[in-house]
Structure 1
Amino acid sequence: MSSATPDVVDAEPASGLARSMAAMTALTALSRLTGFVRIVVVAAVLGTTFLGNVYQSANTIPNVVFELVVAGLVQAVLIPSLVARLDRGDQAEAEHVAGAVLGLTTVLLTGVAVVGALAAPWIARALFSGGGSDAARDAQAHLGTIFLWFFLPQVVFYAAGLVATSVLNAHHRFALPAVAPLANNVVVIAACAAFWWLRDGASPTLHLTTLETIVLAGGTTLGVLAFCGLPVLAVLRSSFRLRPNLDRHHPEVRRLARQGAWAAVFLAASQLLLVTVLVLGNRVEGGVVAYQVAFQFFLLPYALFALPVLTGLFPTLARQHAAADATGFVETTERGVRTVAYLVAGAAALLGALGGPISHAVLFGETTPRGAAQVAGALAGFAPGLLGYSLFLFASRVSYARGDTRTPALVNLAVVAGGSVAMAVGYAVVPDRHRVAALAVGHSLAYLAGAAALLHLVVAKEAPQRRSHLARAVSGPAFGAAVVALVLVAGTNVVHTSTRTGALALLVGLGSAGAVAYVGLTWALGGPRPSEFVGALRGRPS
């Protein structure tokens, strides 16, 4: 098979796993760079306005629907199932199972999209019931309904893309799924640029022409189609025959559905937390936009440093569990926790301490100073929870690799309940200008507690005597990050700037100094040498 048509069926040898993860990290960085540009462009064109709220809220609904209905089945249990069949050489069975998941989810989600389109006016009314005057609420609901008609078909694309990505990941092929978001970002950036050109520089309002609506909403859905189409094309060009079927009586499909039900509970709970954000954030002008912009910055270090570890180790963990390799399973889990904690904690320190310079340096256009301050406050609120969020999702993958989807779901229900209460309380007690930050703080508190609980439960099942090792692996980087964050906050309070160039210089200078200080401090505290991680990324044993 030539390089132009990669054969995903021949799984990479173990020695190539680290190189695949390194490639995934590099390509994820490229995708996230374009994603960063997309965030800035959307904020600049739509602003922290009611139009921005409507766009972000309506575009979030397909993700919520997909996560609620089928994402748990695909994300949590399909990859281990495919790995087990491919390892025993039964590719035909793997193809049939993947095809059944694809066919059944496509039919289900098509029906959901149709029902959602019919219910769009009521969904929009519920979403936009608390912001602005009666006329503003009516305008938001009207435009939100139209946006939902454009956006809801995305759920079908997501199903096809995620099944194809699962097939690729089961063969340790991570590169193309990592770069697929780039296509989405480029298309959305182009759509926003065209929308801005059509508006001829006019301030964003809720009253759009038909062409403006088609360009903005249609371009966004076209981006999702490009994002999901790339992994599908990669699988179709391989020797793995992914053909949809409707075999709902197949024993493995029925087993996946049972296991996936708990994973669906996990993801449904996460979406309920997002619903809390939408309901409360829409009561503040630009609140949802500010929260979503800050959340995208929050996801950047997660995507660069934690997601490659989660994605790369998940098939390995599933394979080790299937082979009853308990020692290897525990060692892989510890290595994942240690790597995620070391890389993510330092990024969290920079993100939280430098939120002001970040928002000042990169946000422009229709983003007001008030909106930039909201983003900066939300970044500070999100930062402490970055480590908890990353470790919580890693611990969930470890549990899924063991075939246990129930424990993460139950813990996540508690996380969402606690997070929703924390968000509501924080929103109620702080001034209007700090309410977006209060939502972010609630998110952080919930996932810090959830990560501690889930890691304790997962490790207790596999190797309770190793819990102290994991505690040390996390506490060292967390302490180092806290010290660095405090120093950086002091630095931003001493050095003031009123220009974008000055903010960028401050960001680069303090960010570089903070990164070096974090590496040195964690090393001095007995943490890993940076060369260990560099060697791992190059495929050498540490």
Structure 2
Amino acid sequence: MWRKAASVGGLTLLSRLFGFVRDVMMAALLGAGPLADAFMVAFRLPNHFRAIFAEGAFNAAFVPRYAHALERHGPAEAKAFAEDVLAITLAVQFVLLILALVFAPFVVALLAPGFTEEPGQIELTASLTRITFPYLLLISWMTLASGVLNAHDRFAAAASASILLNVCMIGGMLMSGLFPTVAHALAVGVLVSGFAQLGLVLWDLKRAGRSLRLKRPRITPHVRNFLRGFGPAVLGSGGVQIAMFADTILASFLPTGSVSYLYYADRLYQLPLAVVGIAIGTVLLPELARRLAANDGAGARDRLNRALEGAMLMTLPFVALFAAAPGPIVAALFGRGAFDAAAVEGSAAVLQAYAVGLPAVVALRCVTPGFHASGDTATPVKALAAATIVNVALKVLLVGSFFSAGLAFATSMGAWANLLLLTWLLRKRDGFAPDRRFALSMASLGLATAASAAAIRWSLGPAAGLKGLIPQFPDFAPAAFIGLLGIAAYAAIAAPGFLFARR
């Protein structure tokens, strides 16, 4: 399991490095002004719907059922099931695409109503949305093909596909002189990347001898079973997106740049989530599904314990860094060009608030597969509904006083509410039982995180003296010093604690 997760995580890390280059270029060229806000919303819209109809929701319903059909009925029936689901997916996505193209200004006004107060902002965002939205259909197709590959223990192509998104967006910015604005160049890069990502995964599918034909939609018993699981999964993903829609809606009423502050902080927050949480969750789902299908409940619980241990080991250093020194990190990565001191300060406040919920968000990527692997997509939806109420209510209460940072803090609290409720429910059904090794590991990691945060706070003074050591990147040396000291303090306690727990 860890070899597979390392493969997915390594490729995801490579994608994030390309994403870092992309975001540095975007920060320098777009900054955090009206043009940046317009592109952020146009980029978010297909990704909101992608999160609802593809990725998490789709994989939760599709992968266990495809694996079951493969195990019980053989490759031919599993292939037919995948082709039927593909036909239905493409038909639904095509209708959604037409509606989005026709009603783009209305959709933008609905999700970013504050833009109506700025002349031309709705029209600009709608024009960018019409370019980016076809990306959703292409990525939904790619997601299904990736699910088939994952069920056959092939993870590399799907994990590396996101690299192409960043490469295409970087290419768009390099050719921005050919477009009306940098935002239009980025939007075209997003669309081109959809074709590139789909092509990569279909090529790997063909190499694996698992190619899928396009055919007319059919509602078979397997498809009905999939739809019964997909409905609750979509509602669950929809709950997450409701909270994110609330961010976009409320941030559109805040001072110019607030949408961008959320975006840039989210890019840093997403690094450990993608490299650690998503990688482990991607591998854990088929692993748990196979063990539960073989009636190996004890093995499934052990895998979940080990997955949570590893996830927290790799996530908590980021928590200490983002909570104790968000300003130097944001300044080092994005603080140049059009990304001024106000943008650094606004993004740093959001990043600090996100850090509070980062452990919960990563842990959810491990706990939720414990339900999905057994075909239960309804229980996580019920837990998420309660968490979403907490999340949105806090957003409304905090946005007036803390602006975009209040939105991020509400997101963190919603994640903790969701995790605590799901963990309690999974323990009640004997799907999760923390063992001695898990308890000792968590205790040592808690101490290591506190020590790391204390070391980072102490280092802020000495680090300030290193500012400007590298003239081209004046904030890089302080951030590097802070990060290295924090990691050293973390490792000094976490390493012996982990070794003791394994005895």
* Structure 2 length-normalised TM: 0.92
Offset of 1:24 from its aligned partner? 2.1
Tell me the distance in 2 between the aligned counterparts of 1:72 and 1:248: 23
Offset of 1:146 from its aligned partner? 0.8
Q: Counterpart in 1 of 2:32?
A: 48
User: Which of residues 148, 153, 156 is equivalent to 1:167?
Assistant: 148
Q: 1:491 to 1:321 in 2, by over 3 A?
A: same
Identity of aligned residues (%): 25
Offset of 1:232 from its aligned partner? 2.0
Matched, 1:368 2:340: yes
Q: Counterpart in 2 of 1:484?
A: 452
Offset of 1:21 from its aligned partner? 2.6
User: Which residue type is aligned with residue 445 of structure 2?
Assistant: P
Tell me the distance in 2 between the aligned counterparts of 1:450 and 1:298: 18
Q: Counterpart in 1 of 2:211?
A: 241
Tell me the distance in 1 between the aligned counterparts of 2:351 and 2:500: 28
User: Which residue type is aligned with residue 151 of structure 2?
Assistant: A
User: Which residue type is aligned with residue 319 of structure 2?
Assistant: A
Q: Counterpart in 1 of 2:410?
A: 442
Which segment drifts farther, 379-388 or 462-471? 462-471
Tell me the distance in 2 between the aligned counterparts of 1:163 and 1:321: 23
Matched, 1:400 2:372: yes
The within-5 A match list for 1:414-425 is 414-425=386-397
Tell me the distance in 2 between the aligned counterparts of 1:89 and 1:528: 44
Matched, 1:98 2:79: no
Offset of 1:268 from its aligned partner? 0.2
Q: Counterpart in 2 of 1:118?
A: 102
Offset of 1:172 from its aligned partner? 1.3
Count, aligned residues:
497
Which segment drifts farther, 458-467 or 235-244? 458-467
Offset of 1:521 from its aligned partner? 1.7
Offset of 1:88 from its aligned partner? 4.1
The within-5 A match list for 1:103-182 is 103-131=87-115, 134=117, 137-182=118-163
Offset of 1:189 from its aligned partner? 0.8
Q: Counterpart in 1 of 2:381?
A: 409
Determine helix, strand or coil for the equivalent of 1:527.
helix
Matched, 1:522 2:494: yes
Q: 1:463 to 1:254 in 2, by over 3 A?
A: closer
Q: 1:180 to 1:487 in 2, by over 3 A?
A: same
**CA distances 1:9-32 after superposition (whole Å, capped 9, x unpaired):** xxxxxxxx4333322222221111
Matched, 1:462 2:427: no
Q: Counterpart in 1 of 2:185?
A: 215
User: Which of residues 190, 193, 208 is equivalent to 2:174?
Assistant: 193
The within-5 A match list for 1:237-316 is 237-282=207-252, 283-316=254-287
Tell me the distance in 2 between the aligned counterparts of 1:212 and 1:300: 25
Determine helix, strand or coil for the equivalent of 2:376.
coil
User: Which residue type is aligned with residue 374 of structure 1?
Assistant: G
Offset of 1:351 from its aligned partner? 2.6
Q: 1:455 to 1:112 in 2, by over 3 A?
A: same
Tell me the distance in 2 between the aligned counterparts of 1:451 and 1:273: 16
The within-5 A match list for 1:426-437 is 426-430=398-402, 435-437=403-405
Gaps of 5+ in 2: none
Offset of 1:212 from its aligned partner? 6.2
**Native 8 Å contact 2:58 2:233 kept in 1:** no
Q: 1:149 to 1:464 in 2, by over 3 A?
A: closer
Determine helix, strand or coil for the equivalent of 2:368.
helix
Q: 1:353 to 1:213 in 2, by over 3 A?
A: closer
Offset of 1:390 from its aligned partner? 0.5
Q: 1:54 to 1:404 in 2, by over 3 A?
A: same
Tell me the distance in 2 between the aligned counterparts of 1:39 and 1:110: 30
User: Which residue type is aligned with residue 442 of structure 1?
Assistant: A
**Native 8 Å contact 1:337 1:473 kept in 2:** no
Q: Counterpart in 2 of 1:10?
A: none
Matched, 1:513 2:485: yes
Q: Counterpart in 2 of 1:227?
A: 197
Tell me the distance in 2 between the aligned counterparts of 1:106 and 1:223: 18
Which segment drifts farther, 147-156 or 455-464? 455-464
Gaps of 5+ in 1: 1-16, 199-207, 533-541
Tell me the distance in 2 between the aligned counterparts of 1:399 and 1:44: 43
Offset of 1:444 from its aligned partner? 1.3
Tell me the distance in 2 between the aligned counterparts of 1:235 and 1:91: 14
Q: 1:162 to 1:464 in 2, by over 3 A?
A: closer
The within-5 A match list for 1:324-363 is 324-363=295-334
Offset of 1:163 from its aligned partner? 0.4
Offset of 1:472 from its aligned partner? 5.2
Tell me the distance in 2 between the aligned counterparts of 1:228 and 1:66: 14
Tell me the distance in 2 between the aligned counterparts of 1:152 and 1:508: 38
Q: 1:53 to 1:214 in 2, by over 3 A?
A: closer
**Native 8 Å contact 2:61 2:229 kept in 1:** yes
Determine helix, strand or coil for the equivalent of 2:120.
helix
**CA distances 1:460-494 after superposition (whole Å, capped 9, x unpaired):** 21257547875554454234313321331232155
Q: Counterpart in 2 of 1:13?
A: none
Tell me the distance in 2 between the aligned counterparts of 1:340 and 1:288: 29
Tell me the distance in 2 between the aligned counterparts of 1:401 and 1:236: 27
Offset of 1:421 from its aligned partner? 1.6
**CA distances 1:517-537 after superposition (whole Å, capped 9, x unpaired):** 11222345x33479x8xxxxx
User: Which residue type is aligned with residue 358 of structure 2?
Assistant: L
**Native 8 Å contact 1:183 1:226 kept in 2:** yes
User: Which residue type is aligned with residue 114 of structure 2?
Assistant: G
Tell me the distance in 2 between the aligned counterparts of 1:167 and 1:19: 19
Offset of 1:402 from its aligned partner? 1.6
* Structure 1 length-normalised TM: 0.86
Tell me the distance in 2 between the aligned counterparts of 1:223 and 1:465: 42
Tell me the distance in 1 between the aligned counterparts of 2:463 and 2:209: 59
Offset of 1:415 from its aligned partner? 1.7
After the TM superposition, which segments of 4 or more aligned residues of structure 1 sit over 4 Å from their partners?
Answer: 70-73, 211-214, 467-473
**CA distances 1:494-541 after superposition (whole Å, capped 9, x unpaired):** 5425537453222222212211211222345x33479x8xxxxxxxxx
**Native 8 Å contact 1:72 1:260 kept in 2:** no
Tell me the distance in 2 between the aligned counterparts of 1:262 and 1:313: 20
Offset of 1:251 from its aligned partner? 0.6
User: Which residue type is aligned with residue 270 of structure 1?
Assistant: V
User: Which residue type is aligned with residue 157 of structure 2?
Assistant: L
Q: 1:78 to 1:159 in 2, by over 3 A?
A: same
**CA distances 1:402-428 after superposition (whole Å, capped 9, x unpaired):** 211111111111222211122222211
Tell me the distance in 2 between the aligned counterparts of 1:440 and 1:471: 29
Q: 1:308 to 1:212 in 2, by over 3 A?
A: closer
Q: Counterpart in 2 of 1:65?
A: 49
Tell me the distance in 1 between the aligned counterparts of 2:111 and 2:69: 44
Which segment drifts farther, 211-220 or 157-166? 211-220
Offset of 1:72 from its aligned partner? 5.4
